[in-house]
Structure 1
Amino acid sequence: MTAPATATAIREATDEDWAWRMLLQGCDHLRLLLSRRDGSEAAWEAAPGPTGHTGFDTLLAALAAHEFQAAGREPPRSIRSRTPWVPKHPFLDQAEIIEQTPDYLARLNVFVPNRDLTTA
């Protein structure tokens, strides 16, 4: 998946659970492309476009930038601070979500527990 394809998949998701899956799948694909070191990660340098939800827009950009940084690469410039977003969580209250959010997301006013950002 590319950044635009991931944004489109999130926008077209029929429910929020599917949107989360598309977000994480896109980030998994980016991590794979970055690990190849063959230039294929350039597909993620294009702005992803709107997902239809400002929280997902910010989170997608932040996670993409984080993956680039983790691979020792310059991240895309599409990150902007937005209105704080704390998605509802089935097990945690708002304070717990904020406490368990990685710093790189908290700086962007997006609050998601670290454990919810990985796939099995």
Structure 2
Amino acid sequence: MSAPETAAEIRRALRAGETTWAWRMLLQGRDHLRLLLTDSAYNDLDLTGSWEAAPGPTGNVGFDALLAALASHEFDEAGVTAPEWTRIEPLEEDWRPPHPFLSPERVVARTPPWLRRLHIYVPERDLATA
């Protein structure tokens, strides 16, 4: 998945009212990027260019910002310069997606600092995939 494909899948899911699927597509896109950046099998292919193109809007400012933040974080972790579209300003209003188990205070406490700086509040464990 590329950044534009990831955003398009998130947009489709959100329009269909499938928020859980939107999260899956977001994390799948992030995982594909991580694989491209870290797996030696992809070194010679240089597929990270598929993440250079800015994604279109997802229809949700929070998902747009989180996609940019996740991509930026993955590039930073890999020691690779992130595309310009990933450099975003903090959101004007906090974005705290509803959490089924945690109070808003616990969500904030469990959000990694690199997301908190952007006013995005998602517990780190909710970003983990197998």
SS in 1 for 2:120: coil
Specify the alignment match of 2:119 in structure 1: 109
In the aligned structure 2, how far is the partner of 1:105 from the partner of 1:74? 18
Q: CA deviation at 1:19?
A: 0.3
Q: CA deviation at 1:113?
A: 0.1
Identity value in percent: 56
Letter in 2 for 1:7: A
Q: Greater CA radius of gyration, 1 or 2?
A: 2
Specify the alignment match of 2:2 in structure 1: 2
Alignment of 1:55 with 2:62, yes or no, is yes
TM-score for the superposition, normalised by structure 2: 0.88
Greater shift, 79-88 or 2-11, is seen at: 79-88
Specify the alignment match of 2:109 in structure 1: 99
In the aligned structure 1, how far is the partner of 2:8 from the partner of 2:94? 22
In the aligned structure 2, how far is the partner of 1:37 from the partner of 1:53? 33
Runs of 4+ in 1 over 6 A off after TM superposition: none
Please point out which of 43, 58, 62 is paired with 1:37.
43
In the aligned structure 1, how far is the partner of 2:110 from the partner of 2:28? 22
TM-score for the superposition, normalised by structure 1: 0.95
Query: Structure 1 regions of 5+ residues with no counterpart?
Result: none
Letter in 2 for 1:102: P
1:53-92 Cα deviation digits (max 9, x unpaired): 0000000000000000000011122232222100000000
- How many residues of Structure 1 are paired with residues of Structure 2 in the alignment? 120
Query: Structure 2 regions of 5+ residues with no counterpart?
Result: none
Q: Over aligned residue pairs, what C-alpha RMSD do you find?
A: 1.0
SS in 2 for 1:12: helix
Letter in 2 for 1:89: H
SS in 2 for 1:62: helix
In the aligned structure 2, how far is the partner of 1:21 from the partner of 1:55? 15
Q: CA deviation at 1:37?
A: 2.9
